Structure 1
Amino acid sequence: MKASRDDDPRVGLDGRLSWRPAGAADLDAWAALIARTAAVERPVWFERREDLAQILESRKNPTAGNSVLGFDVQGVARAYGRITKNPDGEKALGFGCVDPAWQGTGVGSGLLGWTEARTRQRFAADAATRAAARLRLFTEQQHTHHSALFEGRGYRIVRYYSEMHRPLDGTLPEPILDDGFELVPFGPELYEAVRQAHNDAFRDHWGSEPRDQEAWAFVVNDPLARPDLSAVVVERAGGKVAGYQLASHDAQSAESRGFTEGYTELLGVRPEFRGRGIARALLANAMRRFAAAGMDKAALDVDSENPTGALALYLKMGYVAVNSSMAWDREF
Structure 2
Amino acid sequence: MREEADVLPDDNRFLSDPEGVVGDADGLPDGWAVDTPDPADRFDVARLAHLLRNHERHGRGWAGASVDDVLVEVSEHGLRMRENVVIRDGEGEIHAWGSVHDRSVGRMLFVHIVERDLPDDVADRCSDVLLAWAEAQARAVGAARGLETQQIDTGTFEGDQRQARWLEGAGFSKVRTWWQMSRPVAVDEEELVETPDHWESGGVVFRLVRRTGDGMPDEDDLREIHDVLESAFTDHFNSSEETFEEFLHRLREDPGHRWDHWWLAEIVDGDAPQPVGALIGTVSESSTGPDGSYVSYLGVLEAARGRGVAKGLLRTIIADAAQRGRDRVGLEVDADSPTGAAGLYTSMGWETKYVTESWHRDVPVR
Q: TM-score range by the shorter chain?
A: 0.7 to 0.9
Residue aligning to 2:177: 160
Letter in 2 for 1:154: G
Give the 3 Å change call, closer, same or farther, for CA 327–217 of structure 1 in structure 2. Answer: same
Q: Is 1:149 aligned with 2:166?
A: yes
Q: Is 1:315 aligned with 2:315?
A: no
Distance in 2, matches of 1:113 and 1:311, equals 36
Following superposition of structure 1 onto structure 2, how do residues 131-280 of structure 1 map, counting pairs within 5 Å? 132-169=149-186, 172=189, 174-175=192-193, 178-186=201-209, 188-189=217-218, 190-212=221-243, 213-236=245-268, 237-252=271-286, 255=288, 260-280=291-311
Residue aligning to 1:96: 112
| 8 A Cα contact 1:159 1:327, kept in partner | yes
**Structure 1 residue 34, shift from structure 2 partner:** 2.9
SS in 1 for 2:135: helix
Residue aligning to 2:21: 8
Which of 34, 39, 44 is the equivalent residue of 1:19?
A: 34
Residue aligning to 2:86: 69
Letter in 1 for 2:100: I
Distance in 2, matches of 1:161 and 1:279, equals 19
Give the 3 Å change call, closer, same or farther, for CA 40–306 of structure 1 in structure 2. Answer: closer
Give the 3 Å change call, closer, same or farther, for CA 318–194 of structure 1 in structure 2. Answer: same
- The structure 1 segments of at least 4 consecutive aligned residues displaced by more than 6 Å after TM superposition are none
Distance in 1, matches of 2:272 and 2:158, equals 45
Distance in 1, matches of 2:272 and 2:165, equals 53
| Cα-Cα RMSD | 3.0
| 8 A Cα contact 2:53 2:65, kept in partner | no
Which of 116, 126, 131 is the equivalent residue of 2:145?
A: 126
Letter in 2 for 1:122: V
Q: Is 201-210 or 11-20 further displaced after alignment?
A: 11-20
SS in 2 for 1:226: strand
Letter in 1 for 2:48: L
Distance in 1, matches of 2:161 and 2:182, equals 23
**Structure 1 residue 288, shift from structure 2 partner:** 1.2
Question: Which ranges in structure 1 are unaligned for 5 or more consecutive residues?
Answer: 1-5
Q: Is 1:108 aligned with 2:127?
A: yes
Which of 276, 279, 299 is the equivalent residue of 2:330?
A: 299
**Structure 1 residue 86, shift from structure 2 partner:** 5.1
1:227-249 CA-to-partner distances (Å, cap 9, x unmatched) read 33442212335343221221112
Question: Which ranges in structure 2 are unaligned for 5 or more consecutive residues?
Answer: 1-18, 194-198, 211-216
Which of 50, 66, 77 is the equivalent residue of 2:68?
A: 50
| 8 A Cα contact 2:181 2:353, kept in partner | yes
Letter in 2 for 1:191: L
SS in 1 for 2:87: strand
**Structure 1 residue 94, shift from structure 2 partner:** 0.8
Give the 3 Å change call, closer, same or farther, for CA 54–155 of structure 1 in structure 2. Answer: closer
Give the 3 Å change call, closer, same or farther, for CA 309–144 of structure 1 in structure 2. Answer: same
Letter in 2 for 1:121: A
Letter in 1 for 2:277: G
Give the 3 Å change call, closer, same or farther, for CA 52–194 of structure 1 in structure 2. Answer: same
Letter in 1 for 2:22: P
**Structure 1 residue 178, shift from structure 2 partner:** 4.2
TM-score by length of 2: 0.76
| 8 A Cα contact 1:33 1:99, kept in partner | no
Residue aligning to 2:359: 328
TM-score by length of 1: 0.83
Give the 3 Å change call, closer, same or farther, for CA 196–40 of structure 1 in structure 2. Answer: closer
| 8 A Cα contact 1:17 1:70, kept in partner | yes
Q: Paired residues, what number?
A: 319
Distance in 2, matches of 1:143 and 1:218, equals 28
Residue aligning to 1:30: 45
